A and B are shown apart, each in its own frame.
Chain A
Amino acid sequence: MASAAESIDDLKARIQMVPVDEARSEISEGVRVIDVREQNEWDESHLEGAIHVPQGEVSERIDEIAPDRSERLLVHCRTDGRSARIVDLLGELGYEDAVAVEGGIVAWEGAGYPLVYAKGLTPEQRNRYSRHTLLPEVGVEGQVALLNAKVLLLGAGGLGSPTALYLAAAGIGTIGIVDDDVVDASNLQRQVIHTTDRVGVAKTASAKAAIEALNPDVKVVEHNTRLDASNILELIENYDVIVDGADNFPTRYLLNDATVRLRKPVVSASILGFEGQISTFIPFEGPCYRCLYPTPPPPELAPSCGANGVLGVMAGLMGLLQANEVVKLVIGIGDTLAGRLLLYDSLGTTFTELKVRRDPSCPICGPEAPEIPVEEMGQFPDYELFCGAPAREASPVA
């Protein structure tokens, strides 16, 4: 057995190693090959016919796998560090003809020899998303789920910009963007998906250009329109998760009422000044937006209606927290913010977490809630008060 002091180079000099071309011809003649990498590495790609025994399980399982200690065995890992140690170990256990494959699966793939790849990912995708698939909680399966996911962003503004960029990088297969605004120079302090040379361009088109440049796997669907009660159900129907970065209450309540009806999860954040709020609403499993805020505030307490200052970095943080929620919802890992409201104060760099309960008297998701007519979704008796505009007409999103 290698002593702790023995370098990997000394160890490799001491054991038998074969280059990949020889290994390949031996395998074709029936010599068995053992892959000692971890499960997630195996899942990503492996040699056809290889026996998978993670290095930590070799001493325990090798008897069963190869009872004849004189059998010729090829051992490989990613390059050849782990396989060299295992070959040394097998020597200690009495195996007379175990050899390590020089350069491992990396050299094998580099030589252009065939591999069995995980279902659903192309070679380019395996490389692009390797830092995801290396995480056991994500793996190839999680990445495939991301690639198959359809996420709708309400707004390509302060929240939607960072959310869209990171979701695109993560490989969300379809990203829909609802926004009817055009890029303005004053947006660029925080709306990082847009660029100076795209000032004046529709935000959906600008966002599409940025996303496509970042990741060709992502299909961007532009919804250059205003959300209203007449189009919202159709718009959100085909998406798995909705990300709410709207800049006004009418849109937020309308979205809530429609997503509860269609049982779509919503990751909702809002920003003002140096502070942000975020929660995740999963219809009937957790509270909805109206459980949290049964009534919108009057205009003087709803400064979203006018131009207000916002720290760009804080908007980015909240947008990325939204992206984080989306990724977890899609893969089905971790704990979402369902039932919790997270407040962030960027001046103090403090987070405050509050509990959000389902409201048994909620008019939308409560047990007694009647199904409301479509045209009544998002409505309040005094709705016209919002920003001085009737809700059904003006629900701009940022």
Chain B
Amino acid sequence: MPSATVKIPPVLRTHTGGEAQVAADGSTVGDVLGSLVDAHPDTRGQLFSEEGELNRYVNVYLNDEDVRVLDGLDTAVDDGDTVVILPAMAGGR
């Protein structure tokens, strides 16, 4: 099964033991995020709605492309790909 590197944004790192990136297996973006959630269950509520949909305020990129313009959570992942989780940030101070 392909293994991807998931980049964890600062606001989620308390749920990954402080890790900024996590290796996760999966043949699709959804599977990779599923592996992340299995390893770090506290990330589930931040990433997914109760219905299991990706929360609208979380952007997910496969390498540099937004999965919304690919096949969403069904987007195929190759070994060595990077999945970036990106929530909006508003800090300016």
Contacts and interface: CB of A to CB of B under 8 A. Distances in A.
Q: Do they bind each other?
A: yes
Interface in A245-303: 245-249, 252, 269-275, 277, 292-298, 301-303
A377 interface: no
A345 B10 CA distance: 10
Interface in B46-71: 46, 56-59, 61, 64-66, 68-69
Interface in A348-398: 348, 352-357, 359, 397-398
A310 B87 contact: no
Contacts of A303: 11, 91
B93 A398 contact: yes
A296 B65 CA distance: 20
B88 A296 contact: yes
Contacts of B93: 155, 157-158, 187, 191, 247, 310, 398
A139 interface: no
B91 A272 contact: yes
Interface residues on B, range: 20 to 34
Interface residues of A, number: 50
Contacts of A252: 90
Given A295-B56, A297-B57, A310 B91 contact: yes
B61 A354 contact: yes
Contacts of A158: 91-93
Contacts, number: 103
A308 interface: yes
Contacts of A397: 92
A277 B89 contact: yes
Interface string B26-62: 0000000000000000000010000000001111010
B84 interface: yes
B86 interface: yes
B11 A354 contact: no
A353 B64 contact: yes
Given A354-B84, A355-B66, A247 B90 contact: yes
A244 interface: yes
B92 A270 contact: yes
Nearest to B7: A352
A348 B91 CA distance: 20
Nearest to A272: B91
19 contacts: A154-B92, A157-B93, A158-B91, A246-B92, A249-B88, A269-B92, A270-B88, A272-B11, A275-B89, A293-B57, A295-B57, A297-B87, A301-B11, A302-B88, A347-B20, A354-B61, A354-B65, A354-B86, A357-B66
Interface of A: 154-155, 157-160, 187, 191, 244-249, 252, 269-275, 277, 292-298, 301-304, 308, 310, 341, 343, 345, 347-348, 352-357, 359, 397-398
